[in-house]
Copies of this chain bind each other. A is one copy, B any other.
Amino acid sequence: MPEICLLGTGGMLPLKNRFLTSLFVEYNGKAVLIDCGEGTQVAFAQHERKLSRIAMILITHGHADHVTGLPGLLLSLGNCSRTEPLEIYYPVGWERVIKNLLSVCDCLPFPVILHSLEAMPVSWTAAQIDPMLEISALPVDHKVPCMGYSLTLRKKPVFQPEQAKSLEIPVKFWKLLHQGETVTLPDGRIIQPEQVTGEGRKPVKITYVTDTRPIPDIIDFARDSDLFICEGMYGDTDKKESMNQKGHMLMQDACRLASQAEAKALWLTHYSPAEMNPESWLEELQKIFPSVKISQDGENINL
């Protein structure tokens, strides 16, 4: 069951009580971190999440509010005596920024593996976290290379012991069958996993999109998400044009995307530092998408 914590909800600049947007998703002790602005390691401490769990960092883009926490965070990981490799993914074009930041911490006791993602949709299995976890990246529209990310944890279908017993399958083969493998029994029978499992369970999907205009591609990308986390710089619709021009979106844009994507829930994040009271827009936003939440730093859920 993924444990999700939105470490910060700020865009552009951290405020006294609002850290920069960053998402922590933990799967059975191994975690994905999305974005790492200044102060992210402090937010970890404040929300009692363990740095040592991080197995992978996904960077949406290289603007300072999304990356300048990297050197401090990596040094802290080094101080925890980490030796396992750390993988960092980011959109093509930001290699210089990422490498420049990492030059501040050039004596780490663990390897850092950098992956530059081409400007096209791509998916991969994050087996180092969970063999059932698939990560997808979508280029979005922020005037600079920027990616949205989606994490989909597939679930094994439910094993049906009564069915296995009625087929007289020895217990020692049950685990292999549940893991999806075909087995040959001592009596020569070949058993397919589908003979002893029920219907497939719905995967758990989390989508994170920030720093982009509200482009239609996001709708399919976030389709059926259990949790869609999306930027909402302002709630004041007078700012729509200027926000979209700057490669951002309003809270209302995010709600429309969530509705069209048929997401189960929407958490807003990446508020402008000038948006001091995002909660004031809630009623208006619920008319567009009832399951919207005006997230605050530390917002968390187990899905």
A302 at the interface (CB under 8 A from B): no
A97 at the interface (CB under 8 A from B): yes
Contact B103 A96 (CB under 8 A): yes
A65 at the interface (CB under 8 A from B): yes
- Shortest distance from the beta carbon of A152 to any chain B beta carbon, whole Å: 31
- Taking a contact as CB atoms closer than 8 A, the residue among B37, B45, B67 that contacts A15 in the complex is B45
A101 at the interface (CB under 8 A from B): yes
A22 at the interface (CB under 8 A from B): no
A68 to B102, CA, bound (A): 11
- Taking a contact as CB atoms closer than 8 A, the residue among B16, B45, B72, B105 that contacts A45 in the complex is B16
- Shortest distance from the beta carbon of A94 to any chain B beta carbon, whole Å: 10
Q: How many chain A residues touch B (Cβ–Cβ < 8 Å)?
A: 31
A26 at the interface (CB under 8 A from B): no
Contact B72 A14 (CB under 8 A): yes
Contact A13 B64 (CB under 8 A): no
* In the complex, chain B residues whose CB is within 8 Å of the CB of A38: 38-39, 41-42, 68-69, 71-72
- Taking a contact as CB atoms closer than 8 A, the residue among B14, B79, B101 that contacts A42 in the complex is B14
* In the complex, chain B residues whose CB is within 8 Å of the CB of A64: 71-72, 75, 104-105
A99 to B278, CA, bound (A): 36
- Taking a contact as CB atoms closer than 8 A, the residue among B13, B42, B45, B75 that contacts A41 in the complex is B13
Contact A13 B65 (CB under 8 A): no
A100 to B76, CA, bound (A): 20
* In the complex, chain B residues whose CB is within 8 Å of the CB of A72: 13-14, 37-38, 64-65, 68
Return 22 A-B CB contacts under 8 Å, by A number: A13-B72, A13-B79, A14-B41, A14-B72, A38-B39, A38-B68, A38-B69, A38-B71, A38-B72, A39-B42, A62-B104, A64-B72, A65-B75, A68-B68, A68-B104, A96-B103, A97-B103, A97-B104, A100-B100, A100-B101, A100-B103, A100-B104
